[in-house]
Amino acid sequence: MALSLRLEGWSEKAGGGRGLSTSDSPGGPVRIGVAFDIPEPWGSQLTRRRVLAGDPLARYVPAHLTLLGPTDVAPDLLPGVEKHLAAVAAQYPPYTLHLRGTGTFRPVTEVVFVAVAAGISECEQLAAAIGAAEPLRRQSRFPYHPHVTVAQDVPPDMLDEVYDDLADFSARFRVDRFTLFEHGGDGRWKPRRDFLLEGGVLPGTG
């Protein structure tokens, strides 16, 4: 899978170009992100539609929902980051996510996405908790908005086509984990570790 950090999306533009990564520099920072994959059969469906639209990132970034966009951290801080993520996962319970219909960030950015109809608050709370650790605090031009990107950096007519084609899309599934990803020199985001959601009730709701 996979995170301009476009409205918390994954983009190679955040790293200065495909095939370049801070992870390639010995002793340099490592680029990481946190997200969860969209399960089958919907994940392949959305990724395939993104490929058909001509999105240059489609083969590098399968369908996912981002919780932390691309963030550079020093290698020696990674154990602490993983400890923090484990603590977050232990605090928050699994939840149901409902994806339905399409939305767009145009004219601000040329992005079409599948919208989150239910599970928004849970995504927001998880994202806030994950980003609370000092090494993971990021500046962003936009507030966090959970979504699944299905087209970006393609001609306007293709954005319109994807928007219309997926207007009736609907998927409901259980989110029971999130994944820490590391960006590699081949342009792909590689899973580093899964974190199971094991909390009893959402903090503040029990």
pLDDT in tens, 55-100: 988 888 889 999 999 999 999 999 999 999 999 999 999 999 999 9
Render pLDDT for 147-173 as a digit per residue (tens, 0 to 9): 999 999 899 999 999 999 999 999 999
CB contact at 8 A, 77 and 50: no
CATH class of 6-196: alpha beta
CA distances for 137 relative to 35, 68, 129, 134, 148, angstroms: 16, 9, 10, 5, 22
Q: How far apart are CA 135 and CA 126, in angstroms?
A: 16
Q: How far apart are CA 25 and CA 30, in angstroms?
A: 9
pTM of the model: 0.84
Q: How far apart are CA 89 and CA 83, in angstroms?
A: 10
180: helix, coil or strand? Answer: strand
The residue ranges of every structural domain in the chain are 6-196
